[in-house]
Copies of this chain bind each other. A is one copy, B any other.
Amino acid sequence: MKTVSGGVCAAKGFKAAGIHCGIRKNRTKKDLSLIYSEAPCCAAAVYTQNLVKGAPLLVTKDHIARGPVRAVICNSGNANTCNANGVEVAEAMCALAAQRLNVLPQEVLVASTGVIGQPLNLDPIREGIAPLVGALSTDGSDDAAEGIMTTDLKKKQIAVEFEIGGKICHIGGIAKGSGMIHPNMATMLVFITTDAAITGEMLQKALSTDIQNTFNMISVDGDTSTNDTVTVLANGLAENPVISEEGEDFNAFMKALNTVNVYLCRAIAADGEGATKLLECSVTGAKDEKAAKIVAKSVICSSLFKAAMFGADANWGRVLCAIGYSGAEVDISRVSVSFESCQGSVCVCQNGAGVPFSEEEAKKILLENEITIAVGLGDGEAAASAWGCDLTYDYVKINGDYRT
């Protein structure tokens, strides 16, 4: 398996585009994206578990249930959520794209991200749809990744090449994250394309399984969005033997999907609102995977710990505190904690109590922008990782005046 360029256009037959149509006032910010497959795709998706669900999710869910898919349209700047006419507007977005692409409205999926509770004006989309479709190209992943960004600072895309049954396959994705990131089933918006041939059932199985260890293990601020969606489109143009059951081929696909997802997870966490550091909490020695996950996520979600990491402060007591209130059954007297980065590793706690360490050494390690918090529970063989970011002045700044 190797990384390749092209993002969502790395897989054969996919094109993408992103433009500024006018949903956002700032003309330098793209706000409308499109992904298109020249062949019909089977699709899988996972959605937020928030009871408040964005209208686009409802429409996407319905369209996936109706059969093959050809395109995804997505706007930023407005979440089209908690609006009385939300479903109507989301359906209209699909219809506008479908008309220009000469496909059925039900073959178009839709997503929206941005402010909640303000009606989404269709006019800019109506005017933008012709230039958007006109801009579709195999080089368009960059623009599409840009069009779905809100407070994200960096585009998030990746693609990998892998082999199934002697055929070269590709899988690639784009994502947006930043704020309101604490996925429970999926993260904000992730679009993945693949030319691998796989049944819809196995595609959903692969996605639903993998997100348990990837998108469900990141948190920027503990707020589960109303619009979280991860979709995968598979058009089969790689011509591998169709994956229709578990086995070697399915495993190869799962591995490629996992590579894409872990990359996007880390990118979303690292580009969390206001973040200066990517934090990975790696838990080992747990009695089962559930305990490992609960502990990893509790550490990553602690506001106090996140603020300490912003200050490069080796305040491991906050790690112990977060483990203690996580709800997992843990024997605190066996817990060990180390901080790691490219500058090295320092053990700060063993058997649930502090051990002497060099503050200078710890500071050097924690001043890096990718930190691993290694937690050993001494209670078994299970392990899990969670990803997050530090809590900074900029998080407050961004969210203290987001809407106005």
B354 touches A118 (CB 8 A): yes
A223 touches B322 (CB 8 A): yes
Q: How many residues of A contact B (CB 8 A)?
A: 64
A223 touches B304 (CB 8 A): yes
B396 touches A349 (CB 8 A): no
Chain A residues numbered 34-73 whose CB sits less than 8 Å from any CB in chain B? 49-53
| CB of A301 closer than 8 Å to a CB of B | yes
Stretch at the interface among A130-138, A158-166, A257-265, A324-332: A324-332
CA distance in complex: A307, B179 (Å): 12
| CB of A342 closer than 8 Å to a CB of B | no
Chain A residues numbered 287-320 whose CB sits less than 8 Å from any CB in chain B? 301-304, 307-308, 310-311, 313-318, 320
Given A82-B352, A311-B399, residue A321 in contact with residue B223 (CB < 8 A): yes
User: Which of A's residues lie within 8 Å of B, judged by CB?
Assistant: 49-53, 79, 81-84, 115-118, 179-180, 182, 184, 221-226, 301-304, 307-308, 310-311, 313-318, 320-325, 330, 332, 349, 352-354, 359, 391-393, 395-404
Q: Which residues of B contact A397 (CB under 8 A)?
A: 393
Q: Which residues of B contact A318 (CB under 8 A)?
A: 116, 223
Q: Which residues of B contact A301 (CB under 8 A)?
A: 222
Closest to A304 in B: B223
CA distance in complex: A400, B318 (Å): 12
CA distance in complex: A398, B179 (Å): 22
Closest to A302 in B: B223
CA distance in complex: A221, B222 (Å): 11
CA distance in complex: A314, B117 (Å): 11
Given A52-B321, A82-B352, A117-B349, residue A396 in contact with residue B307 (CB < 8 A): yes
B403 touches A396 (CB 8 A): no
* Given A50-B325, A82-B352, 16 further pairs, Cβ under 8 A: A51-B323, A52-B323, A52-B324, A82-B353, A221-B303, A223-B325, A224-B321, A226-B317, A303-B399, A304-B399, A311-B404, A315-B403, A391-B396, A392-B400, A393-B397, A396-B396
A396 touches B399 (CB 8 A): no
B400 touches A304 (CB 8 A): no
Q: Which residues of B contact A118 (CB under 8 A)?
A: 354
B222 touches A308 (CB 8 A): no
CA distance in complex: A155, B285 (Å): 44
Say how far A221's CB is from chain B's closest CB, in angstroms: 4
CA distance in complex: A396, B395 (Å): 9
B403 touches A223 (CB 8 A): no
Q: Can you list 7 residue pairs at the A/B interface with Cβ under 8 Å? A: A50-B325, A221-B304, A224-B321, A226-B321, A307-B399, A313-B403, A392-B400
A313 touches B51 (CB 8 A): no
Say how far A100's CB is from chain B's closest CB, in angstroms: 30
Q: Which residues of B contact A222 (CB under 8 A)?
A: 222, 301-303
Say how far A361's CB is from chain B's closest CB, in angstroms: 14
A325 touches B117 (CB 8 A): no
B116 touches A320 (CB 8 A): yes
A404 touches B313 (CB 8 A): yes
B400 touches A313 (CB 8 A): yes
Out of B179, B320, B321, B400, which one reaches A311, CB within 8 Å? B400
Say how far A62's CB is from chain B's closest CB, in angstroms: 18
Nearest 5 Cβ contacts at the A-B interface: A116-B317, A311-B400, A52-B324, A307-B399, A224-B325
Q: Which residues of B contact A330 (CB under 8 A)?
A: 51
CA distance in complex: A115, B115 (Å): 39
CA distance in complex: A402, B324 (Å): 20
Out of B51, B79, B303, B332, which one reaches A52, CB within 8 Å? B332
CA distance in complex: A79, B49 (Å): 38
A349 touches B404 (CB 8 A): no
Q: Which residues of B contact A53 (CB under 8 A)?
A: 324
Q: Which residues of B contact A401 (CB under 8 A)?
A: 311, 313
